[in-house]
Structure 1
């Protein structure tokens, strides 16, 4: 299944609430905009944590569940999933909810919803289980939903921060948070490379983007210039 079809599976209105060793994940809508005769592969939702306080690109799965298949022009509304929660190591993390689809060989990423409030896990002072610190007891809401038509605010901010050798600081975050349709329409870049970027998201550093086959600093700069217009 190609990346263009993946773009039509989306999640909206995402949130989570952690209760000891469980997490409640909620979504207002899981949507398939594909043709009515289309049947997706098995869908999977994962809550992942991306390391924020170190230079390493650690990514941890905190909770996961499969949803089965979905017909084109169908949707699931007001979903709630009570799942086993795997606490990450002590540190500061960014949480992201990801929707993926089974393509016959592996799961490919279709859509992501990033949560703006950092998730902190304190180091234990003794041999007890690490304690967690959450900024708010209520369900944390995602930064934005995939259907919002306005430009991602995180992309706008990248224009005003200090730039690096490729021309854009934290450019990998711009690629992570860009809508699939917009990323696939970048002009002057081979479609195969753009599809690889969609399939291999999320990236955790500029170096990991440059490791994509066919990618180089000049091409990356061109992609980021288009995404941050």
Structure 2
């Protein structure tokens, strides 16, 4: 896929020959080379790769979305990664025309700083959902409800309390919490916390659990810390 040339923020961290392929709620990102062109004794901070979308329209609407995100660790000076492929959760943008770009950022101990970008010259088009689609669905649901008898609940049935994740919508707590608070969660590897910061915003608990190293017990622990 052809890339438009844009002025990068830091030419010492480079992206070469990038592409993407969207498959339902996943996107496969391919990069021929990610390099650190700095001196040999220079170790980069943790690097973050994001697929971003910029709205293109005539209504002067300014909007930028993060469609996919992952961290790729550190790279020593004069070293590089080749033939990189990342299978990531994909957040579909709203209806309209979007300019897509891969952005490479570096962690500076406080936040991620944008270092380099690769823009794709083919706009990504998202069609609006027909207005009557949702109405039809609602009608079908009402018909199904009308013919489905309500099950009788035994008076001796026990009420099971939901887990921490279900009670507080864990992924929303991660999306809204400050970076500093997430990184200070005790009992959780710092690299995993950095991944959560890098890959948010999340659209569901399943998306959080897809983060490498994450599990239900670990997520419960993180949410408990963020909501206490």
Q: TM-score range by the shorter chain?
A: 0.5 to 0.7
Name the counterpart of 2:65: 60
8 A Cα contact 2:42 2:77, kept in partner: yes
Measured in 2, the distance between the counterparts of 1:106 and 1:128 equals 42
Alignment of 1:200-211 (within 5 A): none
Correspondence for 2:127 among 109, 122, 140: 122
Could you tell me how far 1:104 is from its partner in structure 2? Answer: 1.1
Aligned to 1:178: none
Please list every run of 5 or more consecutive structure 1 residues that lacks an aligned counterpart in the other structure. Answer: 130-229
Tell me which residue corresponds to 2:32: 28
Greater percentage in helix: 2
TM-score of the pair, normalised by structure 1: 0.53
Q: Which residue of 2 aligns with 1:9?
A: 13
Superposed, which structure 2 residues align to 1:1-229 within 5 Å? Answer: 6-53=10-57, 54-126=59-131
Q: Is the 8 A contact 1:48 1:98 kept in 2?
A: yes
Q: How much does 1:127 deviate? A: 6.6
- Describe the shift of the 1:128–1:27 C-alpha distance in structure 2 as closer, same or farther (beyond 3 A): farther
Quick one: distance in 1 between partners of 2:23 and 2:14? 26
For the residues of structure 1 that align with 2:20 and 2:34, how far apart are their CA atoms? 15
Runs of 4+ in 1 over 3 A off after TM superposition: 126-129
Aligned mates of 2:100, 2:82 — CA distance in 1: 22
Larger Rg: 2
How far apart are the structure 1 equivalents of 2:24 and 2:91?
10
- Supply the distance in 1 between the matched residues of 2:132 and 2:103 (Cα, whole angstroms): 33
For 1:7 and 1:79, locate their aligned partners in 2 and report how far apart those are by CA, in whole Å.
19
Residues 46, 107 of structure 2: 8 Å contact kept = yes
* Matches of 1:113 and 1:92, distance apart in 2: 18
Per-residue deviation, 1:57: 1.4
Q: TM-score when scaled to structure 2?
A: 0.53
8 Å contact kept, 1:5–1:34: no
CA distance in 1, matches of 2:9, 2:55: 30
Cα deviation 1:123-177 (Å, max 9, x = unaligned): 1004759xxxxxxxxxxxxxxxxxxxxxxxxxxxxxxxxxxxxxxxxxxxxxxxx
